[in-house]
Each structure stands twice: as C-alpha cells, then as structure tokens.
Amino acid sequence: MAGTDGGAFRRMLRRLTSDVEVLDADDLSEDAEKSGAQRAAECACGQEVTVFGRLRSVEFRPQDANASLEAELFDGTEGVTLIWLGRRRIPGIEPGRTMRARGRLAVRDGRKVLYNPFYEICQAQ
C-alpha cells in the first residue's frame, strides 16, 4: 500500500474498535481545538482560559445564603465546573448544550472551576 497515509488508517481502525464514549470525547476535543479553546487537561490554576465543550450536568446548589448554579463542561480531555454565584437558573444552560466559557481558572476540592464565567452557547458542531 505504497503512498497510503498510515495515520488515516490507524484513525479509521480506532473508530471501528473504540467505545462510543471515547469517540465522543475525541470529537469534543477536536471541536475544542478547532474553536481555538484550550484543552481543560492542560489548563492550570490562575490562568485566564477559554474552554469549549458540552455540558454534562447542571445543578442548583442552595447551600446556606450562597446559592449557586453549577454546571460541568466536558471538552473531551477533562471536566471544568462552571459556577454562577447567586443564580438559580440561566436560560439555555442545560445538559447536552455545547458552549464556550472564559474566566480565571481556580481549583476547588481538586476540581477545576470557573466562577461567574463569560459564556456563549454554541451550535453543536
């Protein structure tokens, strides 16, 4: 098979033999890279970051007087928790939505977190 791209063959073989969740994570990671966002797995605490991915979960946390809306954004490499303080609901922020979020990354309880991030809901790619 002279002249055949071995990389393309390996990718095709991987697609035929991989778990659906692995393939979905690969697609999300590629979409994030194409959009110019950083990979969550490569982001560090204190950095100003832009991440792109799909919301896995959205939850209202009415703890004490510090109510917050929390959503997990997964970009194919790692999850980032988005936290909007003092919010009960934000129209359009729901599981399955694709979005871009920007802010300064923090770490809370071992999880990467963006507090009150700027966000844009995107069309699925």
Single-letter amino acid, residue 1: M
pLDDT in the model for residue 1: 46
For 72, the domain range is 6-122
The answer to whether residue 1 sits within a structural domain is no
Both tokens assigned to 93: 């922020």
pLDDT at 50 over 90: yes
pLDDT of 35 higher than 80: no
Q: In this structure, are residues 100 and 51 in contact, taking their beta carbons and an 8 Å threshold?
A: yes
Indicate whether 19 belongs to any domain: yes
User: Cα separation of 38 and 75, whole Å?
Assistant: 9
CA–CA separation, 81 and 114 (whole Å) = 6
Q: Decide: 120 and 100 in contact? Cβ < 8 Å.
A: yes
Best-predicted range by mean pLDDT among 10-24, 84-98, 103-117?
Answer: 103-117
Separation between Cα atoms, residue 29 and residue 35, nearest integer Å: 10
Task: Band the pLDDT of 115: cuts 50, 70, 90.
Answer: very high
**Of the candidate ranges 1-5, 67-71, 113-117, the one whose mean pLDDT is the lowest:** 1-5
Q: Which helix (H) or strand (E) holds 113?
A: strand 111-115
The CATH number that applies at residue 29 is 2.40.50.140
For residue 79, being part of any structural domain is answered with yes
**How many independent structural domains does the chain possess?**
1
pTM: 0.74
How many Cα atoms are found within 13 Å in the side-chain-facing hemisphere of 104?
1
**Mean pLDDT over residues 77-85, rounded?**
93
Q: How confident is the model at residue 47 (pLDDT cuts 50, 70, 90)?
A: very high
Over 80: is that where the pLDDT of 23 sits?
no
